[in-house]
Chains A and B, each alone.
Chain A
Amino acid sequence: MAKSVETLEKSIKDAPKAKKPESKKNWFSWGLLAPVLFFFILMSVLPTIWMFGLAFYDYTLTSANKPKLIGFKNFTDFLANQQLAGSVSRTFIFLLCAVIIQTLLGILIGVLFWKNDKMPGRRLALTLFFTPMVVTPIATSLFWKFILDPTLGVINYFVSVLGFERFDTLTDQTLAFPTLVFVDTWMWTPFMTLMTLAALGSVPKAELEAAQVDRLPITRLIRTVIWPHAKFILGLGILLRTIDAFKTMDLAYVMTGGGPGDRTELIAVSLYRFAFKSFKLGYSSAVSVFLMFIAIALTSIYLYILNAKKKSEA
């Protein structure tokens, strides 16, 4: 018995040697990966490391002073900053509202498309429906700004034609934030519809047919047939949307500039201001590090759930 273990160990030790011809292949695959890795490291990894470093310095681009190491002062500063705390909580409210509404709407529309797979013009409808998702966010923000404009906007034109008073949603204290959520929903609901269609598509056809034959009630159908297959892709969609909503910047910056007051000041907008209006690079790096950890936390939670599920199935 002991001998066989020994030989086994030996064979394990010898294994990499035996695979030597593979190393040539490895060089080839590394060679193919190299350009991407080069740019990834140059454009993504190095700046991130740089940012980590900057977070511990007092460094303002416009001042004549040299960067000064100040330890955790940037972090303690912004954690004490009430305004910033306001932006963070506002961002979370925005994220919750947007993701929940988009998920529900996306699922609803996705199910409608899925149910009517023989509807004439379905492909065209889907293509049109998905366009908001492929338009640049800046363009989306600009044309919604025009549509909603109090004097030039088409909505206000019809409002005045109908005999009501023109109104300006983007500068209104109560309407500005919901309007932002609305435009974000207009832009991103198609994404959740896409994910819903993919999730429903991952349910085996035979299982759906068996459920019809066995006359399962709709709640059972969802619980025992659709959900076990669909949950991963749908969950992934929600995660991507959450991370993305957390970073929302262009929409708020172009449409309202964070206003009126700070009603639509999302964290990414504040960050942009610190970095590229006040050029407080050390401070804004600290905020970025903080945001990055929130994003990593969200991802980890999802991956943890996913892995736990996988383990229970194995």
Chain B
Amino acid sequence: MYDIKLQGITKKFDAFTAVNDINFTIPKSSVTVLLGPSGCGKTTLMRMIAGLESPTEGRIFFDEHDVTDVPTRRRNIGMVFQYPVIYRGTSVRKNLELPLLSEKLSKAEMDKRVDEVAEILDLQDVLKRQVEELDNGTRQKIAVGREVARQPRIILFDEPITNIDLTSKLELKRSMKELFGRLKQTIVYVTHDQTEAMTLADQIALMQDGVITQCDSPKEIYEKPNSQFAGWFLGNPGMNFVPPQFINVSGSKITSPLFSQTIDFGTKASSADTFGVRAEGINVSTTETKGGVQARVTRKSIGAGGQYLLDLAVGSLLIKARVSHSIGRTAKDAVWTSIESENITFFDKSGKAL
């Protein structure tokens, strides 16, 4: 299998820079999700890897092979598109076989591969049907199966479940999760949906304004965002940010009216500007606690799973806290909050994590 090296990749559409000088390696035999808001350049980046778009500057390597000028046909990649592509006028089986024809496989090998993917994707029952008769969800499954059966070294997924109805969406996500566990290919998956990214990724490459801002495992990127953007974009709700006026820095010590303890942050303390804390990183108690900071509940809503989301006002500052069902249910107007220091991330003036 190949890894994908991007060397100074820039793509401009007239005056607009979609992808801006990306230097990055997508590791082989794992699932990398390109995640970001719309217009961040993730799809453009993927299309350049596929060769459907050529970079304005920079080189692309599959292992040590420079493929920048190699046409799509000769890159030996698979790609699943946002719009479910089927080859009309043929059966489902034929659809799965079509890309295999240029591989010069024996009939037995071809049948084996087709039956294998049909089993994983639950397509056995429709193998003999005409593709035009099937709904979008099944069509997309066929498209996924077609790319997998060919066994290319790299498979690209461009928001494959965006255009599918809700029930097929969940089903497709589940079968892809299973599929990704079995595949040894290098997989790149583009999405703007963080749950999809969290479920499927080995690592998430977070993109903003044509740049990859952070690449880590889903757990790492959630717990240790390297920028305010990462903290805000991941999580629902995103991270709470506490502005500078709530922070006192003296030497290496940081104090704040929001937490009772004094944090020793060493030499980096002087550049601390804001701090972030996730909604579930805030401890809430309905009775007064020692060192607890009093807050007022402005809104209460129950989420899936029974947890409560509380909108709290600490003086003039508004923050969101996620609490257990029992606390959420009993929380009245006044509550007491505390924040453990390990749940706090400090950011400098430019929004970078310290």
* Residue positions of A touching B, CB distance < 8 A: 204, 206-207, 209-210, 212-217, 220, 223-225, 228, 313
Contact = CB atoms under 8 A, between A and B. Distances in A.
B73 A224 contact: no
B83 to A, nearest CB: 4
B132 A225 contact: no
Contacts of A212: 52, 71-73
Interface of B: 50, 52, 71-73, 77-79, 81-83, 85, 87-90, 98-99, 101-102, 132, 143, 146-147, 150
B99 A216 contact: yes
| Residue of A206, A214, A216, A225 ringed by the most chain B CB atoms within 10 A | A214
A213 B78 contact: yes
A204 B101 contact: no
A220 B73 CA distance: 14
Nearest to B100: A214
B102 A209 contact: no
A139 B266 CA distance: 89
B50 to A, nearest CB: 7
Nearest to A212: B72
Contacts of B72: 209, 212-213
Contact of B102 (A204, A206, A217): A217
Contacts of A228: 88-89
B99 A206 contact: no
A284 to B, nearest CB: 47
B90 A215 contact: no
A295 B90 CA distance: 35
A224 B81 contact: no
A221 to B, nearest CB: 9
A313 B150 contact: no
Contact of A223 (B50, B81, B83, B89): B89
A82 to B, nearest CB: 47
B147 to A, nearest CB: 8
Given A215-B102, A228-B88, 15 more contacts: A204-B83, A204-B85, A206-B85, A207-B85, A209-B72, A209-B79, A210-B79, A210-B85, A210-B143, A212-B73, A217-B102, A220-B101, A223-B89, A224-B90, A224-B98
Contacts of A209: 50, 52, 72, 79, 81
A214 B150 contact: yes
Contacts of A216: 87, 98-99, 102
26 contacts: A204-B83, A206-B81, A209-B72, A209-B79, A210-B79, A210-B85, A212-B52, A212-B72, A212-B73, A213-B77, A214-B78, A214-B98, A214-B147, A214-B150, A215-B99, A216-B98, A216-B99, A217-B102, A224-B87, A224-B88, A224-B90, A224-B98, A225-B88, A228-B88, A228-B89, A313-B132
A209 B77 CA distance: 12
B146 A214 contact: yes
B124 to A, nearest CB: 22
A215 B51 CA distance: 13
Contacts of B81: 206, 209-210
A193 B83 CA distance: 28
| Residue of A207, A215, A225, A228 ringed by the most chain B CB atoms within 10 A | A215
B352 to A, nearest CB: 38
A64 B275 CA distance: 107
| Residue of A213, A216, A217, A220 ringed by the most chain B CB atoms within 10 A | A213
Nearest to A213: B79
A122 B77 CA distance: 32
Contacts of B88: 224-225, 228
| Residue of B73, B82, B143 ringed by the most chain A CB atoms within 10 A | B73
Contacts of A220: 87, 98, 101
B134 to A, nearest CB: 12
A217 B103 CA distance: 12
A207 B81 CA distance: 9
The 8 closest A-B pairs by CB, nearest first: A214-B99, A228-B88, A224-B87, A210-B85, A206-B81, A212-B72, A206-B83, A213-B79
